[in-house]
Structure 1
Amino acid sequence: MGNFFEELFARGNSYWLTRFIILRLLGFVYAIAFLIAAQQLVPLIGEHGLTPANHFLTSIQTQLGSRMAGMFNIPTLFWFGISDNALSIFAWIGLGLSLVVLGGYANAIILTVLWAMYMSIVHIGQVWYGYGWEIQLLETGFLSIFLCPLLDGRPFPKCRPPIFVFWLFRWLGFRIMIGAGLIKLRGDTCWRDLTCLYYHYETQPIPSPISRYLHFAPHWFHQFATAWNHFIELIVPWFSFGPRTAR
């Protein structure tokens, strides 16, 4: 049993470069997310925004009967006060900390603060922050807390990254991909008869520069692309748990 836990938690020394890359990429994604928040929070959920967050929190408090109950059900730092200036300053501070992580300095304290700050935004973001990638970023940020030492923020600290956390990252990626594949198969029949791409490119919300050309591709190409998508989302993720050569 002792050897099992030693292998699970301690033998992650070969993942020092993986940890470095994950944290830098996380800092980059956090930076983009907080930059967007700095530009959009006030017009979206500010005092005179489309869906004011202060009204949302008041509604939650009324429904649950107390502020404390609201804090337990919708945890966010904005229970302690919210204003347009607070939203802007909050987002800019998050951007600054994200750039620190991107620049190579990250410890468990900084990553915990970033995670708590972004969770605070997501929980008052209402419909604007109701997309799956927000939860994925929060889960990735939470797991990353355990990749770092508590205080040592150097890019390559002496503390070895625990391999158990990397398995949790694989599990996260597996769930995302498998979920994306299964929801297609359980949804429209066009995913099962391989015809979805016949009209996908003319209805996609953010078309790419080559969408027009792909739309006019032959049907056999669309069928192959749909089948390939199923292979990527439903078969390839299982390789995450295989030996190194499979991964």
Structure 2
Amino acid sequence: MEWFPAPEYWLGRLVFQRALAALYVIAFVSAALQFRALIGERGMTPVPDFVRRVPFRVAPSVFHWRFSDRFFAGWAWAGALLAAAVLAGAADAVPLWASMVWWAALWAMYLSIVNVGQTWYGFGWETLLLETGALAVFLGNARTAPPVLVLWLLRWLLFRLEFGAGLIKMRGDPCWRDLTCLYYHHETQPMPGPLSWFFHHLPRPLHRVETAANHVAQLLAPVLLFTPQPIATWAALAMIATQLWLVLSGNFAWLNWATIVIAVSVVDASAVGLGGLVGPPADLAPPPLWYEIVVIAATAGVLYLSYRPALNLLSRRQRMNTSFEPLHLVNAYGAFGSITRIRHEVVIEGTTDEVITEDTEWREYDFKGKPGDVRRMPRPFAPYHLRLDWLMWFAALSPGYAGRWFGPFLERLLENDRDTLRLLRRNPFPDAPPRHVRALFYRYRFTTWRELRETGAWWHREPVRQFFPPTALRERP
């Protein structure tokens, strides 16, 4: 491999860029379809309120200068269209400098959304998409060979992502060390998928094998990324296989898919027998001098910003999913340092009764992704991100996670707010809004094989206590 161009990674770069563009499409579409109820002008945590409290230097965003629901929607849909064009190959049909501007525009547009997204965008895969997107700016297009320096920066990102997740597990819950965490995780994860019930019922020895394989993929394979080929390729493929297992077993938005996309950039096509399938063009141009200078400068910048994330990996008080600067260029990652053993869910109900009595009939709201109806099999949603459903899982862990947005959420249910109801699967009050709503706390568990056969229910639930008392609108028009 030469110092700067690496034509042997041409195919890996092609797959990486197209797949990353697809993730951008999903992220922008997710923002466009959900923002009004979450952060819109009448949202639960409105952007105008946020930008009045938080200065631009802390959270750089175009929405500091202007915000309206129409402007945000146009911004998000424009981002989706730009990303779709890249997915179709448009960035490879323009000069190198234009391709870089195109990728930079996608990064800047999504940064503007994340930086005003507040708790709804406080997930590791948001910063992961931004960091990956920033590196993609300097990866070149089909007219140039991939630069070795940026390929190594992608390996450094993949290392921090996986090794950080592995370390935080080993430093955290003892069930990771005694290989028992997956006795619980498939059942208690934030949003189970259609196969999660079956994964939960695998034999316990296999759960221990799953956990051990996870440690290999997150603690050993990342180190091998920095070894010569084909070892690095096989390490990346092991990580991809682990991520696909996670895709089958749960719904983690685009976290697993983004990890797979980054790992693809490590794969040398010739190391897996694909070198002759899609090779680089015969007339592949050498990188221009200005491009080499820009890539070297970007590499130096990333290395400088890597100081705090690297220290974080070494720290006994390791932080996960943390950005150390407002552009989210080099971040800390990690997930599930602790595992919950018992699943709780917040169930929201409403009634049309003016006065609440023991005979009051309560009707339950259904969410799209989070468990509710015990007979409804969990659905696949990833890589699409259901932000409200995820925050409801955090609310069940602790009411503190719901402090700022839960009250406004209930208020909008009392109004039959159209944008809020679009985030739900079913509104039990289609004709007129409820007079009261409340929230109850339930203990959920997966049913056994026998219970599933006899009742058709995937879940068993038991009431625990009241989460939020019955409440009504103070004034009605």
* Structure 2 length-normalised TM: 0.46
Unaligned runs of 5+ in 1: 1-5, 61-69, 149-154
Which of 9, 12, 16 is matched with 1:22 structurally? 16
The corresponding residue for 1:100 is 85
Letter in 2 for 1:45: I
Which of 44, 47, 50 is matched with 1:53 structurally? 47
* DSSP 3-state at the match of 2:115: helix
| Cα deviation 1:88-141 (Å, max 9, x = unaligned) | 000000001000110112200111111000000000000011100111100100
**Alpha-carbon distance in 1 for matches of 2:170, 2:216:** 12
Once the two structures are TM-superposed, the CA of residue 173 in structure 1 deviates from its matched residue by 0.7
**Alpha-carbon distance in 2 for matches of 1:242, 1:55:** 49
Unaligned runs of 5+ in 2: 92-98, 233-477
Once the two structures are TM-superposed, the CA of residue 212 in structure 1 deviates from its matched residue by 2.0
The corresponding residue for 2:192 is 207
**Alpha-carbon distance in 1 for matches of 2:128, 2:213:** 24
Which of 7, 18, 21 is matched with 1:13 structurally? 7
The corresponding residue for 1:71 is 56
Name which one, 1 or 2, has greater alpha-carbon Rg: 2
The structure with the largest helix share of the pair is 1
Q: How many residues align?
A: 225
Letter in 1 for 2:131: E
The corresponding residue for 2:131 is 139
* DSSP 3-state at the match of 2:90: coil
- Flag the structure with more relative contact order, 1 or 2, with Cα contacts below 8 A and sequence separation at least 6: 1
**CA 1:82–1:214 in structure 2 vs 1: closer, same or farther (change >3 Å)?**
same
Identity %: 47
The structure with the largest strand share of the pair is 2
| Cα deviation 1:138-164 (Å, max 9, x = unaligned) | 01000000012xxxxxx621x322110
Once the two structures are TM-superposed, the CA of residue 214 in structure 1 deviates from its matched residue by 2.5
Which of 108, 111, 117 is matched with 1:119 structurally? 111
* Partners of 1:42 and 1:87 within 8 A in 2: no
* Partners of 1:185 and 1:191 within 8 A in 2: yes
**Alpha-carbon distance in 1 for matches of 2:114, 2:229:** 36
**CA 1:246–1:58 in structure 2 vs 1: closer, same or farther (change >3 Å)?**
same
Runs (4 or more) in structure 1 with deviation over 4 Å come to none
The answer as to 2:101 corresponding to 1:109 is yes
The corresponding residue for 1:67 is none
* DSSP 3-state at the match of 2:190: coil
